Amino acid sequence: MSVFQAQKTAVITGAASGIGFATARLCRSRGMHLALLDNDTVNLNQAKNELVAQDSTLKTEAYEIDVGNRERWAEVAQQIQSSFAQVDLVFLNAARGQKAQSEYEGKLKPWTAVDSWKETFDTNVFGPLNGIQALIPLLLSSNTPKSIVITGSKQGITNPPGGGVPAYNASKAAIKNLTEHLAHDLRSDPATAHISTHLLVPGWTWTGMSGNKGPTREEEMKKREGAWFPSQVAEELVRGVEKGSFYIICPDDDVDRALDQARMQWASDDVVEDRPALSRWEQNWKAPAEEAIKADAERRRK
């Protein structure tokens, strides 16, 4: 039975824009109640107003939160429990893309910006951990099907260098491992086997990190060619959860599923084949990697 049904309740972090808001709109179109969480109070209230206008008969509550703040999570979880009969979907989506700030320049810069690493991990890793701790008791209130979806990133799998943001890649790699363990532990215990867990891995999406801040209307959005709209990722999320997929890997208009698979296979084989770390970007390996990935992708498309 799908959690995306009328009168079910979704709790969504990062709900004021991007994928979070698009998923909230999709849930609302399915007749679901909504608990919206974000640290952007202005856009959060705007998102709430738009979703109330979509269907005012359904409950919609907004909660300002820094997801890295465990004490605030405890308060919000208690408020959600008081306002909603039950929680059926938890979508832990809030994240930050942190550029390193330090006194050094060049490739050394991100390795001396420890505060930037901490800020990134507080949101991208401890944010979901705090949410799991606070909301798991609400998912145990009944044994009807429930779902947890956590937003990862392809950068946490293929780990591309450059941009001065290894902290972001590392945080999303941690989220992949965390979510895998969570899925295994929940399905292995009869008391929690009714809670499915899913890792959402968007492709290139025009979100708040790209400048698409707030609950914008996609028909008015000016996005880069090749990027997906947030609503496309939300639709892929629903399809993946309803199919029972753990890894919900989203393509985009530049990169299809076969190319994603080939790139991830190459990254994994760095370990298996004892190649240099991140060999795909190593000078002596660039050409062989590109050729092998292209051939693998073409084979997968057949």
Position 148 in a domain: yes
Decide if 176 is inside a domain. Answer: yes
The answer as to whether 65 is a domain residue is yes
Structural domain contains residue 2: no
Q: Which residue ranges of the chain lie beneath pLDDT 70?
A: 98-107, 110, 164, 208-214, 219-223
| CA distance linking residue 117 with residue 123, whole number of Å | 10
Asked if 248 and 278 sit in the same domain, the reply is: no
Contacts of 299 (CB under 8 A, 6+ apart): none
Task: Record the tokens describing residue 132, joined without a space.
Answer: 């799991």
250 and 263 in a single domain? The answer is: no
Look-up: residue for tokens 């179109």? Answer: 29
Q: Which of 171, 20, 43, 34 has the alpha carbon at shortest distance from 96?
A: 171
* Same domain assignment for residues 249 and 125: yes
In this predicted structure, what is the pLDDT of residue 97?
Answer: 78
* DSSP β-bridge partners for residue 275: none
Same domain, 199 and 262: no
pLDDT for the residue 223: 67
Cross-sheet strand order for the sheet of 247-249: 60-64, 33-38, 9-13, 89-92, 146-151, 195-201, 247-249
Q: Does residue 112 sit in the same domain as residue 210?
A: yes
Q: Is there a single domain that holds both residue 215 and residue 284?
A: no
Which residue range forms the structural domain that includes residue 271? 256-302
Residues 188 and 278 in one domain: no
Amino acid 137: pLDDT: 96
Q: Are residues 219 and 282 in the same domain?
A: no
Q: Rounded CA gap, 35 and 44, in Å?
A: 11
114 in a structural domain? yes
Q: Which of 264, 296, 215 is nearest to 45 (CA)?
A: 215
Q: Are residues 138 and 270 in the same domain?
A: no
pLDDT for the residue 103: 54
The DSSP secondary structure of 64-77, one letter per residue, reads E--TT-HHHHHHHH
Cβ distance 197 to 179 under 8 Å?
yes
> Where among 238, 254, 270 does a domain terminate?
254
In a domain, 4, yes or no: no
152 & 237 share domain: yes
In this prediction, residue 208 carries a pLDDT of: 59
Burial class for 50, CB neighbours closer than 10 Å (0-12, 13-18, 19+): middle
Q: How many CB atoms lie within 10 A of CB 133?
A: 14
Nearest Cα to 252, choosing from 215, 301, 203? 203
How much of the chain is in helix, strand and coil states, percent to nearest 5?
50, 15, 35
What is the CB-side half-sphere exposure of residue 163 using CA atoms within 13 A?
Answer: 12
Residues 244 and 273 in one domain: no
The verdict on residue 173 lying in a domain is yes
Q: Does a structural domain hold residue 164?
A: yes
Cα separation, 45 vs 51, whole angstroms: 10
- Domain count of the fold of the chain: 2
292 and 143 in a single domain? The answer is no
Residue 124 Cα distances to 14, 44, 172, 174, angstroms: 11, 19, 7, 9
Instruction: Specify the CATH number for the domain of residue 31.
Output: 3.40.50.720
